[in-house]
Amino acid sequence: MADNHGNKWKMPLLVFFKDARKVLRLDSIGRELLGIAFPAALAVAADPIASLIDTAFIGHLGAVELAAAGISITLFNQASRITIFPLVSVTTSFVAEEDTLKKITDIEKALPNTDNDESNLGNSASANMEMNKNINKNTSKSSSLAASSKNKSKNEKRQIASASTALIFGTILGLLQASILIFAAKPLLLAMGAKQGSDMLILAEKYLKLRALGAPAVLLALAMQAIFRGFKDTKTPLYVIVLGYALNVALDPVLIFYCKLGLNGAAVAHVISQYLMALALLLILMKKVDLLPPSIKDLQIFRFLKNGGLLLARVIAVTFCVTFAASLAARLGPITMAAFQTCQQVWMTSSLLSDGLAVAIQAILACSFAEKDYEKAKVAAVRVLQISFVMGAVLSVVVGIGLYFGAVVFSKTLSVLHLIRVGLPFAAATQPINALAFVFDGVNYGASDFTYAATSLVMVSIVSIGIEFLMYKIKGFLGIWIALTIYMALRMLAGFWRMGTGTGPWHFLKE
pLDDT digits (tens, 9 = 90+) for 411-453: 777 888 888 888 888 888 889 999 999 899 889 998 889 899 9
Encode pLDDT of 95-144 as tens digits: 888 888 777 777 777 666 544 444 444 454 444 444 444 444 444 444 44
- Is 311:450 a contact under the CB 8 Å cutoff? yes
SS (H, E, C) 333-354: CHHHHHHHHHHHHHHHHHHHCC
- Which segment, 37-46, 162-171, 270-279, 366-375, is predicted with the most confidence on average? 270-279
pLDDT of residue 469: 93
Report yes or no: 218 and 274 within 8 Å, Cβ to Cβ. yes
In a domain, 34, yes or no: yes
Quote the pLDDT of residue 111.
66
Identify the band that residue 156 occupies on the pLDDT scale cut at 50, 70 and 90: low
Question: Based on the structure, what is the number of domains in the chain?
Answer: 1
pTM over cut 0.75:
no
At 45-72, the pLDDT tens digits run 777 677 778 778 887 787 788 888 878 8
Give the separation between CA 10 and CA 364, rounded to whole angstroms.
26
In a domain, 180, yes or no: yes
Of 247-251, 287-291, 348-352, highest mean pLDDT? 247-251
Residue 133 is predicted with a pLDDT of 47
Closest of 223, 214, 394 to residue 308, by C-alpha? 223
Q: Give the closest residue to 195 by CA, choosing from 184, 183, 204.
A: 204
Residue 372 lies in a domain: yes
Q: Calculate mean pLDDT across residues 325-333.
A: 86
Query: In this structure, is residue 417 part of a structural domain?
Result: yes
Q: Is residue 139 part of a domain?
A: no
Dist CA 310 CA 304 (whole Å): 10
pLDDT at 489 over 60: yes
pLDDT tens digits for 348-373?
Answer: 766 667 778 888 888 899 888 888 88
Domain membership flag for residue 233:
yes
Give residue 143's identity as a one-letter amino acid code: S
> 176-233, pLDDT tens digit by residue?
999 999 998 889 888 877 778 778 888 888 888 998 898 899 999 989 998 998 888 8
Sign of dihedral through CA atoms 199, 218, 427, 321? positive
1 domain residue, yes or no: no
pLDDT of residue 239: 92
Are 81 and 319 in contact by the 8 Å Cβ rule? The answer is yes
- Report the pLDDT value the prediction gives residue 135, as an integer from 0 to 100: 41
- State the Cα–Cα distance between residues 237 and 243, nearest whole angstrom: 10
User: How far apart (Å, rounded) are the C-alpha atoms in residues 304 and 227?
Assistant: 14
Share above pLDDT 70 across residues of the chain, in percent, rounded to a whole number: 86
| Per-residue model confidence (pLDDT) at position 220 | 92
Question: What is the extent of the structural domain holding 457?
Answer: 14-116+157-510
Q: Which pLDDT score is estimated for 71?
A: 82
Answer yes or no: is 136 within a domain.
no
Which range has the worst mean pLDDT, 117-121, 373-377, 455-459, 483-487? 117-121
